[in-house]
Amino acid sequence: MVNFDHYKEAEELAEELRKEKMESFADGIIKAMEEGSTGTEIFMALRWNVENLLKTKELSYSKNIKDKADRLFRELDKALQ
């Protein structure tokens, strides 16, 4: 069984977002991890932020960001079930 490191993946996604000058999305992801008090609360906030990123049609972001965001969203969804 492969363990998925949600926090590491979220941090890497935030770094990629900063590289593409998408600071508001990066800030939301980092803020979710810093301000959440329980694992469930953090995961719910991360999921919400990643979902909003994926729903944003007017922004064009790299395939790498889309792939990372898609995978993180799926893994957070599984963890919250």
Going from the C-alpha of 40 to that of each of 3, 17, 43, 46, 81, the distances in angstroms are 17, 24, 5, 10, 11
pTM of the model: 0.91
Domain count, the chain: 1
Q: What is the mean pLDDT of the chain?
A: 92
Give per-residue pLDDT as tens, 7-29: 999 999 999 999 999 999 999 99
Question: Per the domain annotation, does 55 fall within a domain?
Answer: yes
Question: Per the domain annotation, does 72 fall within a domain?
Answer: yes
Q: Does residue 2 surpass a pLDDT of 90?
A: no
57/12: higher pLDDT: 12
Question: Judging by beta carbons within 10 Å of its beta carbon (0-12, 13-18, 19+), is residue 17 exposed, middle or buried?
Answer: buried
What is the span of the domain harbouring residue 22?
A: 15-79
